[in-house]
Amino acid sequence: MTVKEIMDTAKDKMGKSVGVYERDMQALRAGRANPQVLDRITVDYYGSPTPITQVGGVSSPEPRLLVISPWDSSLLKPIEKAIQASELGINPTDDGKVIRLVFPVPSEERRKDLVKQARKEAEDAKVAVRSIRRDAIEQIKKLKKASEITEDDQRKAEEDMQKLTDKAIKDVDSVCAAKEKEIMEV
């Protein structure tokens, strides 16, 4: 494996770590109605678990309301049960045609807990990025030990790896800051 392949692999893995964190933050309920909170909830559709977003239309007519319009009306009860069984913490209301999810305004204490959760997940993402850096640097050191690269090449590769790491951590921090701002909005 060459230094370039090691760097490309590490960059790809770091990008995926940041992407996973971004998706997790989109699913974190911050008081606003966001259709992404439904992405992880599946309903049994003809014997296979299917995401709610694939069995009906999801719209947000108001800032604190989501409306799910299933394409098959027989799915109203299964969707309602799936939402109740999830850790979303919202009781759906069913009017026979659509399901409404009303998102309450979170209390100050709940918002602070959500910020703590966002920061904890940000730290987990940063740890994952640093782990990728450590593994890549170990591979670079093995190349140096096998005399496949020079000491200068090793130093340059390690500096480049640190720049990649700093960028990925900065990306995680910016996603976290944006989520904190969204959570603390009243």
**Do 3-27+107-184 and 35-102 come out as alike in CATH topology?**
no
Calculate mean pLDDT across residues 101-116: 84
Lowest-pLDDT choice from 1-5, 117-121, 127-131:
1-5
Token pair recorded at residue 4: 């370039």
70 touches 79 (CB < 8 A) = yes
Q: What is the CATH number of domain 3-27+107-184?
A: 1.10.132.20
- CATH code assigned to 35-102: 3.30.1360.40
Whether the per-residue pLDDT at 185 is higher than 80: the answer is no
Position 29 scores a pLDDT of: 66
Which pLDDT band holds residue 170 (cuts at 50, 70, 90)? very high
Show me where the domains of the chain are located. 3-27+107-184, 35-102
Cα distances (angstroms) measured from residue 59 to each of 12, 30, 62, 98, 129 = 33, 17, 9, 11, 35
**The model's pTM:** 0.72
Strand 56-62 vs strand 65-70: parallel, antiparallel, or unpaired? antiparallel
Q: What is the pLDDT of residues 53-92, one digit of tens each?
A: 888 898 888 878 889 998 888 888 888 888 888 877 788 8
